[in-house]
A and B are shown apart, each in its own frame.
Chain A
Amino acid sequence: MTGAALKTPANDAAKNEPPMDYNRGLNYDENLLWEKTQTDHPGVDLAAPKNTPLRTGQGARDRIGLPQVSEPDVVRHFVRLSTKNFSIDSGFFPLGSCTMKHNPRLNERVARYPGFALAHPMQPASTVQGTLKVMFELQNWLAELTGLPGVCLTPAAGAHGELAGLMTIARAHALKGRTDKAVILVPDSAHGTNPATAAMCGFKIRVIPTRDTGRVTVEAFKEALGDGADVAGMMVTNPNTCGLFESDIQTISKLLHDAGGYFYCDGANFNALVGKIRPADFGVDVMHINLHKTFSTPHGGGGPGSGPICVSEELRPYVPNPVVLHENGSYRLEENGERSSSCGRIKGFQGQFGMHIRALTYMMSHGADGLRQVSEDAVLNANYVLSQLEQDYNVPLAGPCMHECLLTDKVQKEAGVTTLDIAKALIEHGFHPMTVYFPLVVQGAMLIEPTETESKDTLDRFIRVMKDIAADVRNGDVDKFHTYPQSAPARRLDEVRAAREPKLRWKN
């Protein structure tokens, strides 16, 4: 098929024809809001203004250019758009390192209680004891689960938590007079945010190579550490991005601590440990927790997230402000400047409270017993997938894995089918692809994280499709892979064109 032959709104516009829809069954071709029928009245009924003289010291706003669409059309527009999305509610989402687990609706209900949703962040503490209690209890749950007693809930996302954690480390060194602590050690398998965050905090980065081993070895660590004089800390994800537990971590963290450095653990993979293993017990000093991963707050198509940090007693004085305090039977936020050792404020107000309440609801639903089962089932599911696919795909690093397993396209690539093609074939078969081409230390990586909320039946269906793909490649039936997906709401998109001629907004 070629673009010219298709009836599309863009082609119609070129021919000066009125816009219309080109639907195929339930596959809707939905125009932009500005291209829809415009009405002469808002979709919200408002009181009539009195048009009294303005006290703004300025004239009134001229034309903005916003669309004007009726309420029924707005609803239809967004519902139709929604049908073009894959979601965890509609299918299996084995996206490695992203923990796409079931998002319980109870969390949504509780977050919408007016007492929570209509609370203002700057109300007097006496009027918001309920919200402060939620935050305080969440602090306690996270402290117990990580073994790290100092919790600060303000970071807005995982990367923001990294920033908070590294600022905490920087502040600790600064106040202890260790001015030469300027380097953060980061393995080459780390998430891109780790080195980016260290740079944003003014640190230099020294890379620990893990390419051959998939793990940080004591040897490689010692080499990167040197005499340790300039090392402020290290950022390690554990389990790491290859889905493996860093088996030498206790030795490594001891060496780091002896050199006066702090161990920052990226908590992206906490789902493998929750309720069973405490990071403090393998040497972690600071860790951010992605509430939107481990604790099931919805990803929302890319946020809002929430990335609280948990720190050791030693680092507690330095975390960002404010934290919630409980004194004399009541709760309050820290006053500004009350804790002068703090590394400062990193966000307006006190964090993504709407995510805090959802996460606490989820934790209470599982309890201590359920959370342990979460990590055990997550690890079991990943190992099951690995065991069923290791005959068909290259496994670059020997298992057992933790909550995600790593495969590559090494075998299939020889026949011209790459990781990207396999990902698009999965879309064609109704699955969301795994994480592709990450971690970078493995060529053609496919990182599969099933999570604990998938049934064995779902896993078996996924395994079956993955096996069929491998079989087709073995049998030389490969041409079709370059045409996938064919049945999705869109075919492969031209990303080069998007970047070369950026078109970032609608213009009349």
Chain B
Amino acid sequence: MRYLPLTAQNRKDMLQAIGAASVDELFKDVPKTAFMKGLADLPMHMGEMEIERKLGGYANENHHAGKGPFFLGAGCYYHHIPSTVDYIIQRSEFLTAYTPYQPEIAQGTLQYLYEFQSMIAMLTGQEVANASLYDGATAMAEAALMAMRVTKRSKVVYGSAIHPHYHEVLNSYLNNIGAEHEAHDGNLDDKTACVIVQSPDFFGNVYSYAQWRKKCDEAGALLVVVTNEILSLGLLPAPVEADIVCGEAQSIGVAMSFGGPHLGFFACREKFIRQMPGRLCGETVDADGKRGFVLTLSTREQHIRREKATSNICTNQGLCALAFTVHLSLLGEDGFKTLARLNHERACALADALKAAGFTVENESFFNEFTIRLNGDAKAVVEALTKQGIIAGYPVENKLIIAATEMSSEEDIAAFAAALKGATP
């Protein structure tokens, strides 16, 4: 009961002031049959110590990424997070604030959102970015919906090697409104709203966009570029050819945390801002003429448009966007590029070690993740390696998708290559 400040005397005094004989009198509109008989069938309250013991025990049952060689990526990456990041995001004023609807007392949140939007726009080579979305998969689905609004067309075309979860979420969102969608065979037509290209794709292959830009221009479709490893934008050229760039930014400042909360990002050309989903923060002045920031262009949003809304998104991932902004501020231009290059070099070292152990790397190009072919079921190999404390990668039939980051040491790479060789026929 440590979170409840009212005393028994308070409750008595307050009921008297209200003029009610009991608390249940305040619930008089609730049908009698809807009240629980007694307490819920759940444990009674617990102290901090008991909870730490119990949930600490659960945490200890996991073999987490810090415990041994770790090479799993597949849209969520194990990176180092500087200590400053966690300190800043636990500041009460950030952690326990609400959405900045009262800008006079929310300039802290609003200014970092503005800085976040600026950083995302720069990284993606786009003109504007929003204040974040739930995650990369929903960001991609929102991009497809937005392309349909902009072009007033209903068909969405995408590469076959996009992340399977992104693909499934796209299916769900488009099925809801009965829109057409298909994997691309290179032929666009006058119904095509957009082409979605993921780079690096699920298997780690890197793409350039000039050809797709040309095809989209000919067909009058938008080009959507998706990345689920935002760090790749520190080494790969900016996707300036795209009309929309979106994806997952978890890699910078956000823990893997078993899949969430992560950080969807969304950037596009300025001429499309009124069709953009999600929150936007803009610069303005206050009554003294001082620079300040507010949430803006809210006429796009569901709370104003109601059934005419084009998106039902009501929130963003504010605190994750803060973690990203703090981490990227620490890295800066040089640090971000260096970190990207280190990731690529670790992946190159891993590829070389695996080649030396006799495995075939399938990729012609990659950033920090690539695919090798095994003789047999990769899932069984992954399971076998867990027994040696190694998390090997993501299995797809006889293929294994493997990521390396700055966290992958020489020793980890050597141990992994040797164990993988031992576990495969």
Contact = CB atoms under 8 A, between A and B. Distances in A.
A, B bound: yes
B30 interface: yes
A16 interface: no
B185 interface: no
B56 interface: yes
B411 interface: no
A56 B176 CA distance: 37
A84 B312 contact: no
Contact of A505 (B20, B55, B88, B129): B129
Contacts of B165: 345, 347-349
Interface centre among B27, B175, B258, B320, by most chain A C-beta atoms within 10 angstroms, is B258
A71 B51 CA distance: 36
B180 to A, nearest CB: 14
A113 B282 CA distance: 37
Contact of B307 (A60, A121, A199, A384): A199
Contacts of B331: 42-44, 66
A380 to B, nearest CB: 6
B99 interface: yes
A320 B351 CA distance: 37
A113 B40 contact: no
Contact of A159 (B10, B75, B132, B302): B302
B260 interface: yes
Interface string B294-335: 101101011111111101111111111010001011111111
Nearest to B340: A61
Interface string B25-59: 11111110111100111111110100110111111
B161 interface: no
A414 interface: no
B237 A61 contact: yes
Contacts of A495: 103, 284, 294, 296
Interface string A56-95: 1111111111111101001101110111111111100101
Contacts of B114: 32, 504-506
A124 B13 CA distance: 56
Contacts of A52: 345, 348
B166 interface: yes
Contacts of A10: 290-291
Given A275-B39, A354-B257, A424-B104, A380 B17 contact: no
B206 A85 contact: no
Contact of B98 (A46, A98, A114): A98
Contact of B386 (A104, A126, A134, A170): A126
24 contacts: A10-B291, A32-B111, A46-B338, A52-B345, A61-B340, A67-B332, A85-B105, A87-B94, A115-B60, A117-B256, A122-B76, A250-B34, A345-B165, A347-B169, A348-B138, A349-B258, A364-B45, A368-B39, A432-B102, A456-B6, A490-B286, A495-B296, A499-B297, A505-B118
Interface stretch (B61-69, B149-157, B212-220): B61-69
A193 B312 contact: yes
Interface in A182-202: 186, 191-193, 195-202
A133 B61 contact: yes
B336 A64 contact: yes
Interface residues of A, number: 207
B322 A490 contact: no
A82 B96 CA distance: 11
A368 B41 contact: yes
Contacts of B197: none
B415 interface: no
Contact of A490 (B177, B261, B283, B290): B290
B98 A115 contact: no
A380 B14 contact: yes
Contact of A104 (B3, B340, B382): B3
A61 B256 contact: no
Contacts of A475: none
B419 interface: no
A367 interface: yes
Report, nearest first, the 3 A-B pairs whose CB atoms are least far apart: A3-B289, A42-B335, A349-B259
Contacts of B63: 123, 127-128
A47 interface: yes
Contacts of B330: 42-44, 69, 71, 74
Contacts of B117: 504-505
